[in-house]
A and B are shown apart, each in its own frame.
Chain A
């Protein structure tokens, strides 16, 4: 019961503080802009002084370029949004004292954390659906219709990819006593997780592979990357459980 009350408050907070709006604007903007950027790249090059010299080097844009552009933009800006929206989510409440106000009520600490995670997960889901649909529309208009199911799976993979980082940064925010410390720990964790794929043979097991899998599905329906999916889900669960254990032992 108290979980739903807390989830309601988190969703209301995202709306009333305009954070949901900011998230939606960023993701939808890049969702809409990506196929346009892919299509209009040659024209944009013509507008740059001397750009015409490079036109011969740029191949005619295809639907694959639209996918690549979409995945690059969304994974980068989505990650930044995930970081900014999550780093203070627990640390700020501890720092300001609002955590005391609610944790002294019959709200289990696990429910307190899970409500925050679920609210962000729902926010990302909604924004990604809108960004994905917008991008699908423009891609269809400019390049022809991609496989709708594969397109939605790509967005689902992007969503899971963001959730890994949301869970990781939420853990950092739980460990830290202040927002600044949470940001420091979060940046460290993101850098480590981002650098791991450069180790030989490790990349296919890491969350980044989810995005590659989703992109590959658009051209190759038989593409699979189950280990990355399992490890990503495991990471999310592990981060949430660790955050709960840590918060449960903390004196607020």
Chain B
């Protein structure tokens, strides 16, 4: 059973289609990164799935319960809003105890859960301090702790680190990483590095529509360009050009072109990645030696999530297939960044 499933979920606010027929499946136990630019529909999706708003059309299930039955869903989820707000007069202990009471936890369990979660959030020392005086990072950690009180099956995190400094981001991402396998995490963000760091599966949304959904590794494989990048020492540009000329003669090489803006870097696009893996270096090394070319770097081009994101969001925005970020198959920089 999927942890989250949506079918044609749509949300319209007046003239704005905030969400447009979202169909999505999130497997249990995964950390799902829900990526999209600002205004793409990430928060709307989370608000619908947590029962804070109702879809205009479509259906959705969270932890096996249909979201229309928000009471049943509420008992099985945790939620951290983008900017969690707390009762300023409460202490973290008060808050976690109150949340435990809302979930109907017995007093013994509430006490032990409060202790455990304060420790997990690194707030044990300030458990009796008023939340009103907390920093943003502390509030975010407390927000995550309160979302975990009921040991949720599905945890929704809306931009959990976007407002934090690097230290705060690291803390929260580590906490999220520790949740892998314990519950399903549905995390919206527009920070790609965070997704690369903690998420197994990625969904990219733009203009209310899901552009792609796949495990991160599969996504990277799917968008990998069959290409290699070479970098040589400065002053070796003529020798590099000679090498590229020789490589272009190979029948399994599509193109071999130097980067027009950085003459010391070149990209070799091949027809068959496996053949190239075995044979390209064997062709390069003796010729480079003969040409006196000093190579600094030789690597298979692996697109970053950012490359894929920009390419897919660009496609969705422009409605036309774009080239992989930075380079086309002909090896020319597109300037998409």
Binding site for B on A (CB under 8 A): 1-2, 4-6, 8-9, 12-13, 16-17, 96-98, 100-108, 251-252
A121 CA to B79 CA, complexed, in Å? 32
Query: Is the Cβ of A251 less than 8 Å from the Cβ of B85?
Result: no
Query: Is the Cβ of B103 less than 8 Å from the Cβ of A106?
Result: yes
Q: Which of A5, A97, A104 contacts B101 (CB 8 A)?
A: A5
Query: Is the Cβ of B84 less than 8 Å from the Cβ of A101?
Result: yes
Query: Is the Cβ of B74 less than 8 Å from the Cβ of A252?
Result: no
Query: Is the Cβ of B89 less than 8 Å from the Cβ of A16?
Result: yes
Q: Is B81 an interface residue (CB 8 A)?
A: yes
Question: What residues of chain A lie closer than 8 Å to B86, measured between beta carbons?
Answer: 98, 101
Query: Is the Cβ of A101 less than 8 Å from the Cβ of B53?
Result: no
A-B contact pairs, 5 of them (CB 8 A): A5-B101, A9-B87, A104-B50, A105-B103, A106-B74
Query: Is the Cβ of B102 less than 8 Å from the Cβ of A106?
Result: yes
A97 CA to B86 CA, complexed, in Å? 8
Query: Is the Cβ of B85 less than 8 Å from the Cβ of A105?
Result: no
Query: Is the Cβ of B102 less than 8 Å from the Cβ of A107?
Result: yes
Number of B residues near A (Cβ < 8 Å) is 28
Known: A6-B102, A96-B85, A106-B74. A101 touches B146 (CB 8 A): yes
Question: What residues of chain A lie closer than 8 Å to B85, measured between beta carbons?
Answer: 96-98, 100-101
A5 CA to B54 CA, complexed, in Å? 26
Q: Which of A4, A98, A105 contacts B74 (CB 8 A)?
A: A105
Q: Is B51 an interface residue (CB 8 A)?
A: yes
Query: Is the Cβ of A106 less than 8 Å from the Cβ of B71?
Result: yes
Query: Is the Cβ of B52 less than 8 Å from the Cβ of A105?
Result: no
Question: What residues of chain A lie closer than 8 Å to B101, measured between beta carbons?
Answer: 1-2, 4-5, 8
A104 CA to B99 CA, complexed, in Å? 11
Q: Which residues 88-121 of B sit at the A interface, judged by CB distance below 8 A?
A: 89-90, 94, 98-99, 101-104
Nearest chain B CB to A5 CB, angstrom units: 3
Nearest chain B CB to A1 CB, angstrom units: 5
Binding site for A on B (CB under 8 A): 47, 50-54, 71, 74-75, 77, 79, 81, 83-87, 89-90, 94, 98-99, 101-104, 146, 150
Write the chain B residue with the least CB distance to A107. Answer: B102
Query: Is the Cβ of B79 less than 8 Å from the Cβ of A104?
Result: yes
Q: Which of A2, A13, A104 contacts B87 (CB 8 A)?
A: A13
Query: Is the Cβ of B84 less than 8 Å from the Cβ of A104?
Result: no
Question: What residues of chain B lie closer than 8 Å to A108, measured between beta carbons?
Answer: 71
Query: Is the Cβ of B104 less than 8 Å from the Cβ of A1?
Result: yes
Nearest chain B CB to A20 CB, angstrom units: 12
Additional 18 contacts, C-beta under 8 A, given A97-B81, A98-B86: A2-B104, A5-B102, A6-B102, A9-B98, A12-B94, A13-B89, A16-B89, A98-B85, A100-B52, A100-B85, A101-B86, A104-B74, A104-B79, A105-B102, A105-B150, A106-B71, A106-B75, A251-B47
Write the chain B residue with the least CB distance to A95. Answer: B85
A105 CA to B98 CA, complexed, in Å? 11
Query: Is the Cβ of A105 less than 8 Å from the Cβ of B104?
Result: no
A58 CA to B262 CA, complexed, in Å? 101
Question: What residues of chain B lie closer than 8 Å to A104, measured between beta carbons?
Answer: 50-52, 74, 77, 79
Query: Is the Cβ of A251 less than 8 Å from the Cβ of B84?
Result: no
A107 CA to B101 CA, complexed, in Å? 10
Nearest chain B CB to A223 CB, angstrom units: 44
Question: What residues of chain B lie closer than 8 Å to A252, measured between beta carbons?
Answer: 52-53
A44 CA to B274 CA, complexed, in Å? 105
Query: Is the Cβ of B53 less than 8 Å from the Cβ of A251?
Result: yes
What are the nearest 5 A-B pairs in CB distance?
A97-B85, A5-B101, A251-B53, A106-B74, A105-B102
A98 CA to B146 CA, complexed, in Å? 13
Query: Is the Cβ of B81 less than 8 Å from the Cβ of A17?
Result: no
Question: What residues of chain B lie closer than 8 Å to A1, measured between beta carbons?
Answer: 101, 104
A97 CA to B99 CA, complexed, in Å? 16
Nearest chain B CB to A188 CB, angstrom units: 27
Q: Which of B89, B94, B102 contacts A2 (CB 8 A)?
A: B102
Question: What residues of chain B lie closer than 8 Å to A101, measured between beta carbons?
Answer: 81, 84-86, 146
